[in-house]
Structure 1
Amino acid sequence: MSAKMLSFVSVSQVQPPKRLAGERRADFDEIYEDFATGQASVQASRCSQCGVPFCSIHCPLGNNIPDWLMLTAEGRLEEAYAVSQATNTFPEICGRICPQDRLCEGNCVIEKGFESVTIGAVERYITDTAFEKGWVKPAMPVHELESSVAVIGAGPAGLAAAERLRAAGHKVHVYDRHDRVGGLLIYGIPGFKLEKDIVARREKLLEDQGVVFHLNQSVGIGEGEISLAQLRRDYDAVLIATGVYKARETGGPGSGLPGIVRALDYLTASNRRSLGDRIPDGELEAAGKDVVVIGGGDTAMDCVRTAIRQGARSVKCLYRRDRTNMPGSVREVKNAEEEGVEFVWLAAPEAFLGDSVVTGVRAQRMRLGLPDATGRQSIEPESDGLFTLKADLVIKALGFDPEPLPELWGADDLEVSRWGTIKIDRERFETSVPGVFAAGDIVRGASLVVWAIRDGRDAAEQIDQWIREPAPASLAAE
């Protein structure tokens, strides 16, 4: 083992510099800076190089984290990047937006007594350095193949699959209904967590690799759309990686009032403004308003922090459970509180007030009850627990469901689950339609970017194998 490791007993955990809350409230720039030269190596040296690396086990990509931490501690950054990118298509993105406190860092073996290794920050430093030094190159194929694959969706799952398929030698064409590559990386995640030139940098690498993008191109049966049947005729295989975009709704009196908006609509408008697109003044904007965000996940955190930056008069997050049971990142909650967000725990919306426009949210105090079948505590209303929050803008961040793809695409033979997600063979990623595969949130439901990357890479491997070694006729007929 390297003599540079195991320094956690003498070196304290240090996070990268974070801009002051008052400064970062004024813009959409990323709030964390990179480690200073040498600081990443010192922090990486805190790794215990444990025999059972729980950080890797709890990383959806199975990243070889202790290996690239040791290489970083030894100053061998180019080798560290090589190890990191071997399992992760977008390490600089995961280093910025992964909830490390729930995954790798939250399972670091030194976390309880000495605080975890700052894995995410080191990962970001390694890759940013690799880009700066010119070590990041497109993964060019050794041999060009005659086969071709269509990927539907330019989000993280689709891009990860496209990169792997192209590296294997297949011609890859990616279709997306939006005007930019990245999916939720561009339009769903605010710039203070992921600046958009980071995504554009990867897009350029994919283009240099030979991946072809068809933007502003929807798949479906309507005018101007390309059908799934046509893609099946034009390509040897098709991968569906559309993600899930249908917003979950909450009912109750007044739920249809103007001023009540969906989280993704709100975040998309904000991101488009930051990208320079023309958005009508005041539309989906929080400036000068009392804002209430309903929900407790990472999307809700993105909304409250965006509202702060837009100059909202007040921002409150209404969540039906407590801080401990919140699904969003603990780190994001802390950042939001520093920036001026008020959290209203154990409260759920009961009605929305107003005549021609929303003016408030009537909420019900809740309490935690006994665990349900999943082990999670149930919630019960408190007697006489009604109260009202003033609101000029209400943002619903309640999660996402799949769009009805078989109906939208005229593909009745595309089987879906009772939740609307696409059914696949879990080993081969193939759907009920021969030669059509699926990966990412459209299969597993709304989840993390890192899981989408993992699914995209795994699906690409199966598609490559399927094209090279067609399934036996008996299996294909099932």
Structure 2
Amino acid sequence: MAKPNKMLKFTQTERDMPEKRAANERRDDFLEIYGDYVEAKAEEQASRCSQCGVPFCQNHCPLENNIPDWLKLTAEGRVKEAWEVSSATNNMPEICGRICPQDRLCEGSCVIEQSGHGTVTIGSVERYLTDTAWEEEWIEPIKPLRERAGSVGIIGAGPAGLAAAEQLRLQGWQVTVYDRHDRAGGLLIYGIPNFKLEKKIVQRRTKRLEEGGIEFVMNCDVGVDITFDKLREKHQAVLIATGVYKARDLECPGSGAEGVSAALPFLINSNKRGLGDEVVGETAEGRNVVVIGGGDTAMDCVRTAVRQGAKSVTCLYRRDHANMPGSRRETANAQEEGVSFEWLAAPKSIHDEGGNASAVRADRMRLGQKDASGRQSPEAIEGAEFDVEADLVIKALGFSPEDMKVMSEELTTTRWGTVRVNPLSFETNLPGVYAAGDIVRGASLVVWAIREGRDAAEHMHKYLRELERAETKVAAE
């Protein structure tokens, strides 16, 4: 007797996200805002997948995750198998399930979303699978089939570096990760707020890597505490996965006033407080906060300011809502939590009283002709200025690479300051030196960093195997 089809239930079953805490409750703490699926609900929501012949969700996932397969397995109650398929292409599924902008990637391209039935809740099912795997202790320490003598140095303990470290360690290579911060995780630890990603989720990942034989050297700024040349002497291959941390500046009169801050220091200090560190620095408590920018970092800043007890929080963005680069879901969450948005508004100057910021004067904008990227260029409307009270102004205008020449004068960079690599192998102009993640592609998504870390590791493994064969051949002679 044929088994009943568990899939294609999207016409019978409504889309149902995990329960979200009420805005008036969640704005007072830094806990994650979404609850967890129970097994029956995960099965129900996974069964809405149409199992289409061309899986657009998979095609629009940077990791090319086998989404239809693990949705089908989840719907059939085969949770461990579903997790195994999910984790085969992703080193951090539960992290991507929490912070990926699914509305712009897999869920945004879901066929049933396009037909008006509401997308499959891919991210929430992905999170459920790996959280369950941790609870059931299915996730084991890394155990290479054989140990190899070759040594790899990875600069940067963010998602690209961690993904590459895991892949190389699985092959048996001796891996050391260097990072300037005191904890591994990069922006996963210090950039992304707890209400999106609780730090214990990241820490259990890095603990697993340590237990699997990966060495972490923290508080080590390569180029300052140890030279890049020394690192190359110590290791047969090196991966640069430093990310991009240099804040793009605000170019308007008054931008140097006290109370004007870059986004990353604001977020880092907040996350350090959440981790129990004593931090001397400003918070948003009792202040009128204006955040300038429209990406996910801007949303992290406005929502953090709310939780720190700001008097008011306003986001200025020079284009309209439809053209915001950040996640629609995050923007909606910010609006629910009381953030005011001034669309089509760009800062013209910062007013100050006695050297301290007091207000942002902004131009009203309109969208004009399309630029080279195909986006409409914002233009100021003459005579349409307005002021927003602000004694804390946060610049969330994106990030640029730091000067890579500090690390090595020989390293070739692009005109944007990113590291130039062979796009197929991720190798730089220096033999045995590779680069991946934001330091190659510019500020981007965590999921892209994981993808490039994995791809770079694959080519580094081939390079190290060639060195290993050459050494074996010389020894035999």
TM-score by length of 1: 0.96
Matched, 1:33 2:68: no
- Which residue does the alignment assign to 2:386? 387
- The reply to whether residue 431 of structure 1 matches residue 433 of structure 2 is no
Is structure 2 residue 459 aligned with structure 1 residue 459?
no
Q: Is the 8 A contact 2:150 2:468 kept in 1?
A: no
Indicate which of 152, 156, 160 corresponds to 2:155.
152
Range 329-338 or range 135-144, more displaced: 135-144
Contact 1:263 1:299 in 2 (8 A): yes
- Structure 1 equivalent of residue 474 of structure 2: none
Q: 1:2 to 1:271 in 2, by over 3 A?
A: farther
1:2 touches 1:70 (CA, 8 Å); kept in 2? no
Q: Does 1:205 align with 2:203?
A: no
Q: Does 1:315 align with 2:313?
A: yes
Q: Which residue of 1 aligns with 2:181?
A: 178
Encode CA deviations 1:1-27: one digit per residue, 9 max, x unaligned: 971000001000000000000110110
Structure 1 outlier segments of 4+, above 4 Å: 470-473
Which whole-Å CA distance do the structure 1 matches of 2:409 and 2:332 have between them? 46
Residues 1:468 and 2:465 are matched in the alignment: yes
Aligned to 1:329: 327
Task: Measure the CA separation in 2 of the matches of 1:176 and 1:81.
Answer: 30
8 Å CA contact 1:156, 1:183 repeated in 2: yes
Q: Which residue of 2 aligns with 1:129?
A: 132
Corresponding position of 1:357? 356
What secondary structure does 1:9 align onto? Answer: coil
Aligned ranges for residues 240-389 of structure 1 at < 5 Å?
240-280=240-280, 283-354=281-352, 355-389=354-388
Task: Map Cα deviations across residues 381-430 of structure 1 (whole Å, 9 max, x no partner).
Answer: 11211111100100000000000011x12x11100000000000111111
Distance 1:469 1:97 in 2: 38
**How far apart are the structure 2 equivalents of 1:39 and 1:390?**
46
Of 83, 91, 94 in structure 2, the residue corresponding to residue 92 of structure 1 is 94
Q: 1:120 aligns with which of 123, 130, 138?
A: 123
Q: Is the 8 A contact 1:416 1:422 kept in 2?
A: yes
Structure 1 residues 66, 279: CA separation in 2 closer, same or farther (over 3 Å shift)? same
- Where in structure 1 are there 5+ consecutive unaligned residues? 474-478
Aligned partner of 1:218 in structure 2 is 221
Cα deviation code 1:322-358 (max 9, x no counterpart): 0000000000000000000000000000000013200
How many correspondences in the alignment? 466
Cα separation, 1, equivalents of 2:364 and 2:438: 32
Conserved? CA contact 1:291–1:391, under 8 Å: yes
In structure 2, stretches of 5+ residues that fail to align are 471-477
Structure 1: how far apart are the matches of 2:282 and 2:245?
Answer: 18
C-alpha contact (below 8 Å) 2:142/2:211 kept by paired residues: no
Q: 2:390 & 2:449 partners in 1: Cα distance? A: 35
**1:56 aligned to 2:58?**
yes
* Alpha-carbon distance, 1:471 to partner: 12
> Structure 1 10/471 Cα, relative in aligned 2: closer, same or farther at 3 Å?
same
Is the Cα–Cα contact under 8 Å of residues 162 and 172 in structure 1 kept in the other structure?
yes
Residues 403 and 2 of structure 1: CA distance in aligned 2, closer, same or farther (over 3 Å): farther
**Inter-partner Cα distance in structure 2 for 1:335 and 1:148:** 45
Candidates 101, 104, 107, aligned match of 1:102: 104
RMSD of the TM alignment (CA)? 1.3
Alpha-carbon offset, residue 372 of structure 1: 1.4
Following the alignment from structure 1 to structure 2, what is the Cα–Cα distance between the partners of residues 370 and 138?
Answer: 54
Aligned with residue 138 of structure 1, among 112, 124, 141? 141
Question: Matches of 1:299 and 1:48 in 2, distance apart?
Answer: 34
- The structural deviation recorded for 1:138 is 2.4
Q: Structure 1: which amino acid aligns with 2:341?
A: F
Distance (Å, rounded) in 2 between the aligned partners of 1:252 and 1:44: 50
The 1:156/1:135 distance shift into structure 2, 3 A limit, reads same
Determine if the alignment matches structure 1 residue 449 to structure 2 residue 451: no
Matching of residues 188-199 of structure 1 within 5 Å: 188-199=191-202
Contact 2:67 2:86 (8 Å CA) reproduced: yes
Q: Which amino acid is the alignment partner of residue 348 of structure 2?
A: E
Q: Give the conservation status (yes or no) of the 8 Å contact 1:72–1:80.
A: yes
Aligned residues of 1:320 and 1:348 also touching (Cα < 8 A)? yes
**CA distance in 1: counterparts of 2:328 and 2:282, whole angstroms:** 27
Mean Cα displacement is larger for which, 98-107 or 30-39? Answer: 30-39
Percent identical pairs in the alignment equals: 62
**Could you say if the C-alpha distance between residues 144 and 2 of structure 1 is closer, same or farther in structure 2, counting changes exceeding 3 Å?**
farther
Deviates more, 1:322-331 or 1:133-142: 133-142
Separation of aligned partners in 1, 2:215 and 2:469:
31
